[in-house]
Structure 1
C-alpha cells in the first residue's frame, strides 16, 4: 500500500542516519524526495541513487539549516523539481557530547542554531509553500526522547529537542487553519553517527539494551514508519501529537 503516492517529501539532514532512512521509506511509499545535506555530497548522492532505484525521483540540495536563506532555497528547489511541497520532515540535528560546567559557548550556540533555529526556519519556509499551494500538508519534526528526559552530557542538546516538540505543538495551532498538520516523532536510542562512538563501549551498550523492553537499540529504519504514518492521510486528524519510537525505554522505570 502506497501511503504517499504522488507526494513530494522534503527531509533535512538526510545524507545519512535517520534522515536518510526516512527519505528512503517515504520513497518506498510512492513519494518523490528532496533531501537536504550540509556536507558529504557522496553520501547524499548515494541516498538519491537508492531512491531512484525504487522508481522514484530525488534531488539533493546542499545547505546549512542554521542559515535562514538555506530554508527558502531548499523549498524552492523542491518546487522547481517536483512542483510542490506536500510533506516536510525536519530532521537535521547535532549532538556534540560535552560536560556542562566547562561547555564552550560556541558549542551551545551552534547546537541551538542547527537543532532549534534550523527547525524553525525550515518549517517556516515549507509551511509558506504549503499555504500558498492551498491544499494543506504535513510537517513532521524529529525530536527525541531527550525532549522528555535529561542527559548529563547533553545539557545543550535536550533543550533544543524539547523546543522542537514545542514548535510542532504551536505550529499545529498556527497552521491548522491552512490544513497543515504538525507532529513530532521522539526517537529513543538510535544507532547513528551522533552516538556511534559513545555506544562503542560494550558495557554501556549492553546496559542501554538492558533498559529497553524490546531488548535492542534502535536502527534508523525504525523511525521511517512513524514518519510515513504521520505524513499520510491515515493521520488526517492527527496534529500537535508526539509519537515515542524508543522500544519502550521511556516507560521502563525498573
Structure 2
C-alpha cells in the first residue's frame, strides 16, 4: 500500500473546503484542516475523525497570518513527516460598488485571497523542494475571475490573480515535480449561499445544466486535480459552473 498523502487545507470548516477535506480523508489522506473560526475547525475535525479513515488535525486562525502559516507547516511535518498536497481555499468576499469601494476593504480582500495563497504556497513549496518528491497545490478561484459580476470588482481581481499565480509558478515549480492548478467554482450550495432562500431557485434558472453545484461537485473536481490521475496537468484552471460562464446571465436581471 502506498503511503497516504499529507494535505493542508485552509478555509475548511464548512462548505467547499470541508467537502474537499472529507474526500481526502475518506481516501486515506492525512489532513491538517484550517478555519478562521475555532468552533468550525473543531466541529469539522470531530466529524471527519468519526469516519474511521485517514487522519485529521485542526489548526484555527487566519490563514494569511505568517504565524498561522508556520503552524500549518509545522503541524504537517511534526505529525506526518511531510507535505504532499495543499489546498489554498480560504478567502473572503466583500461586496461593494467600484466607485464607493473602500481602501480598507480592498486591502483586506487582497491580503487574504492573494497574500494567504501566495505565502502558504511559498512555505509549502520550500518543504516539497527539500523532500524531492514533488507535490500538488490547488487554489480556489471563482467564475468571477472569468466573467464580470456586479459589486465584485476587488474579489474578481483577487481570484484572477491567483489563477495567474498558478500559471506563473509552473516556471519555478514544475522542474521540482510540484504541480499548481486552480479550480473556479460557479454558483454552489453552501451554508453561506443557502442562507438566501431564493439562491437555489435563482441559480437553477441561470445555470445551463439546471442547478447550482453541490459542494461534492466541486470536491470531486478538486480531488482529481490534486491526485496522481492529473499528474500531467499544471498551471491550469478548471471551471466547474454547470456551463454558466458560457452564457453568463446575471442574477440581477
**For residues 213-248 of structure 1, what are the alpha-carbon distances to aligned partners after superposition, in whole Å with 9 as ceiling and x for unaligned?**
221111222211111111111111111111111111
Preserved contact between residue 143 and residue 241 of structure 2 (Cα < 8 Å): yes
Which residue of the other structure, out of 224, 233, 240, is the alignment partner of 1:229? 224
Which residue of the other structure, out of 34, 38, 43, is the alignment partner of 2:32? 34
Unaligned segments of structure 2, at least 5 residues: none
Matches within 5 A, 1:64-213: 64-197=62-195, 199-200=196-197, 202=198, 205-213=200-208
Shift of 1:253: 5.6
Q: Distance in 2 between matches of 1:38 and 1:132?
A: 29
Which residue of the other structure, out of 42, 49, 53, is the alignment partner of 1:52? 49
Preserved contact between residue 189 and residue 200 of structure 2 (Cα < 8 Å): no
**Cα distance, 1:195–1:101 mapped onto 2, change above 3 Å:** farther
The TM-score normalised by the length of structure 1 is 0.91
The TM-score normalised by the length of structure 2 is 0.92
SS of structure 1 residue aligned to 2:117: helix
Q: Distance in 1 between matches of 2:186 and 2:169?
A: 23
Q: Distance in 1 between matches of 2:229 and 2:140?
A: 19
Preserved contact between residue 27 and residue 54 of structure 2 (Cα < 8 Å): no
Shift of 1:193: 4.6
Shift of 1:123: 0.8
**Cα distance, 1:51–1:207 mapped onto 2, change above 3 Å:** closer
**Cα distance, 1:26–1:5 mapped onto 2, change above 3 Å:** farther
Preserved contact between residue 140 and residue 182 of structure 1 (Cα < 8 Å): yes
Which residue of the other structure, out of 20, 23, 38, is the alignment partner of 2:18? 20
Shift of 1:250: 1.1
C-alpha RMSD over aligned residues: 1.8
Q: Distance in 2 between matches of 1:144 and 1:101?
A: 22
Q: Distance in 2 between matches of 1:132 and 1:233?
A: 20
**Which residue number in structure 2 is paired with residue 238 of structure 1?**
233
Q: Distance in 1 between matches of 2:92 and 2:209?
A: 26
Preserved contact between residue 35 and residue 62 of structure 2 (Cα < 8 Å): yes
Q: Size of the alignment, in residue pairs?
A: 248
